[in-house]
Amino acid sequence: MSEYTPFEMIAYTGSRVLKDERIVFVGTGLPIIAAMHAQLTHAPNLYMIYEAGSLAPILEMGMPLSVGDTRAARKACYLKGLCGAFELTQRGCADYAFIGGAQVDMYGNICSTIEGHNYDKPGIRFPGSGGAGAMAANCEKTIAIMALEKRRFVKKLDFVTSIGFGDGAPDYREKAGVLGSGPYRVITNQALFGFDEATKRMMLLEVKPGRTPAEIQELVDFELIIPPDVKEMAEPTDEDLRLLRDVIDAEGYFLKRVIKK
């Protein structure tokens, strides 16, 4: 099996999570790549919503470089602008929200706004929600991607950008007035996480071959639920890598990025 990069593993795992005959609201970059890979493999009837307002475009002109790229409007069955896209989620027409983030806590709440406790003078200011806050509030299930680091998997967020299960109370989302069932998966290059139905806490589902659950726990600042049947993550085949590298992101806009240590 060929070697793969962390971003290729994340994109491939994201593809595996997506199911056929579903609608996914995608963010820029790896979510688009994952959805395109799914369409080319096991989910030909997976449809994408883009924030700029298109639903189910035919990507015959190549991968959109952003959610506002005109290629994301090519032969779309619905094209009504940003407000129209989010109206679709409020009508219950999005099965998945596929977003990124800088921090996540044990209940799937996500920060993509700041790093640091002082909002006015943070250590780092990130781009912010974009559409992620509304996507996490209105889509049926939220899928998040981020690097697996202790500074990202935290006990307490510096800022809540995208709502998850709040404080873990069973009725938190209902009382908050948001739709959907909430966080579904958190994808990293070293592990795949889900959420326990009873406690709403993050649960380890799969680990990268060669890693152990104990090693994954060391990279998380809160206590994970670790069931006895944690699986090994599937690795991309040579054909999967060909699709990712030569067909979907042939220019390497996203997959050839390097994680700085």
pLDDT tens-digit series, residues 193-211: 999 999 999 999 999 999 9
Specify the pLDDT at position 258. Answer: 65
- What pLDDT does 259 receive? 58
Distance CA 213, CA 226 (A): 7
Let me know: does 71 contact 59? Beta carbons within 8 Å. yes
Concatenating the DSSP letter of every residue in 53-120 gives SEES---TT---SSTT-GGGGTT-SEE-HHHHHHHHHHTT--SEEEEE-SEE-TT--EE-SEESS-SS
Is 87 a catalytic site residue? no
Distance CA 232, CA 206 (A): 5
Extents of the domains making up the chain: 6-188+235-248
Residue 199: which of 110, 108, 135 has the closest Cα?
108
Contact between residue 163 and residue 175 where contact means Cβ atoms under 8 Å apart: no
pLDDT the model gives residue 46: 97
Torsion (CA) 119, 123, 129, 130 in degrees, nearest 10 = 120
CA distance linking residue 179 with residue 141, whole number of Å? 10
Cβ atoms 103, 149 nearer than 8 A? no
Report the C-alpha gap between 87 and 76 in whole angstroms: 16
Mean pLDDT, all residues of the chain: 94
Residue 11 is encoded by which pair of tokens? Answer: 């994109």
Q: Is the dihedral of CA 127, 133, 135, 140 positive or negative?
A: positive
pLDDT band at 1 (very low <50, low <70, confident <90, very high): low
Instruction: Say whether pLDDT at 146 is over 80.
Output: yes
Q: Residue 171 — pLDDT band, cuts 50, 70, 90?
A: very high
| Dihedral (Cα; 130, 37, 148, 235), 10-degree rounding | 180
pLDDT of residue 2: 80
Interacting residues of 61 by C-beta distance below 8 A, sequence separation 6+: 71, 74
pTM of the model: 0.94
Q: What angle, rounded to 10 degrees, do the helices at 30-40 and 6-17 form? A: 60
pLDDT band at 235, cuts 50/70/90? Answer: very high
**Is 206 in a helix, a strand, or coil?**
strand
Say which of 51, 115, 140, 206 is annotated catalytic.
Answer: 51
Quick: pLDDT tens for 17-67.
999 999 999 999 999 999 999 999 999 999 999 999 999 999 999 999 998
Scanning the structure block, which residue is given the tokens 């404080």? 167
What SS3 class is residue 239?
Answer: helix
Mean pLDDT value across residues 12-17 = 98
6-188+235-248 carries CATH number 3.40.1080.10 = yes
